[in-house]
Homo-oligomer: A and B are copies of this chain.
Amino acid sequence: MDLIGVVDTMFARYDMGGEALDALEKCPGYGTKFTTIRRTVPGFKDLAVAAKRLIELDRCVIVVALGMPGKEAVDKVCAHEASTGIMTAQLMTNTPILEVFVHEDEAEDPAVLAEVFKNRSRDHAVNAYLMIYEPEKLTARAGQGVRQGFANAGPLNT
């Protein structure tokens, strides 16, 4: 049975990993074609090596890496470093790692922000499923302005 990895952080202020796992459990073939494995690390700069270990040591076919960059300027730099690490981990393993970051300042209203956390975590978990098992569904939506967390932008209105 395939293994899909989920890595999240103690630093984030929402249970992103829990949402991703729940969304994956509702995908076709959960428990028969694939199951999930979770790891939690302190902060988002620890995600890359954790995801790489899930791929190389636990043989995950894809990983969803979830984190929350904070509001400060230094957090933005750290987010860049975390992203660069996730990028490199993918190239070293030839395996996709879907980065799911929700910036703490994407919305002021905590209720709105919670929705973004929930939707983006779930949407990208489903994307991970689709990339492995139904990639033609992504191609069918190429160039359609698809978003995760907020409403879709849609194709250019010409």
Interface residues of A (CB under 8 A from B): 8-18, 38-42, 45-46, 48-50, 52-53, 56-57, 74, 76-85, 87-92, 94-99, 103, 110-111, 113-114, 117, 124, 127, 131, 135, 138-139, 141-148, 153-158
A158 engages B114 (CB within 8 Å): yes
Residues of B with C-beta under 8 A to A117: 156
- Chain B, Cβ-Cβ closest to A130: B42
How many subunits of this chain does the assembly comprise? 5
- Chain B, Cβ-Cβ closest to A115: B158
A17 engages B143 (CB within 8 Å): yes
B49 engages A91 (CB within 8 Å): yes
A16 engages B143 (CB within 8 Å): yes
Alpha-carbon distance A158/B112, docked complex (angstroms): 9
Known: A56-B94, A90-B48, A96-B46. A154 touches B13 (CB 8 A): yes
Residues of B with C-beta under 8 A to A11: 145-147
Alpha-carbon distance A115/B9, docked complex (angstroms): 24
Alpha-carbon distance A10/B138, docked complex (angstroms): 7
- Chain B, Cβ-Cβ closest to A10: B146
Known: A135-B39, A143-B8. A85 touches B81 (CB 8 A): no
Known: A13-B153, A110-B157. A52 touches B148 (CB 8 A): no
Residues of B with C-beta under 8 A to A127: 42
Residues of B with C-beta under 8 A to A50: 96
**Partner among B53, B99, B111, B142 whose Cβ is within 8 Å of the Cβ of A18:** B142
